[in-house]
């Protein structure tokens, strides 16, 4: 894939094959506070179910 992208150019590659390629999200990484990427939102599953009441 990388070689094909280099041969075609990024724009042409994206235009022709962009809809056919799935890129999974990356793994969490420790970075300094100055990193501009959005932070991940880790949710505690136990807290998510606190509001469920049984009758």
Q: Where are the domains of the chain?
A: 2-48
| DSSP string across 6-47 | HHH-HHHHHHHHGGG---PPPPP----TT--SPPP----HHH
pLDDT at 53 (0 to 100) = 66
* Residues with pLDDT less than 70, the chain: 52-55
pLDDT at 30 (0 to 100) = 92
């Amino acid at each position: 894939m990388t070689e094909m992208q280099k041969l075609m150019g990024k724009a042409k590659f994206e235009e022709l094959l962009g809809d056919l390629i799935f890129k999974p999200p990356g793994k969490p990484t420790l970075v300094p506070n100055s990193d501009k990427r959005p932070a991940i939102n880790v949710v505690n599953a136990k807290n998510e179910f606190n509001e469920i009441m049984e009758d």
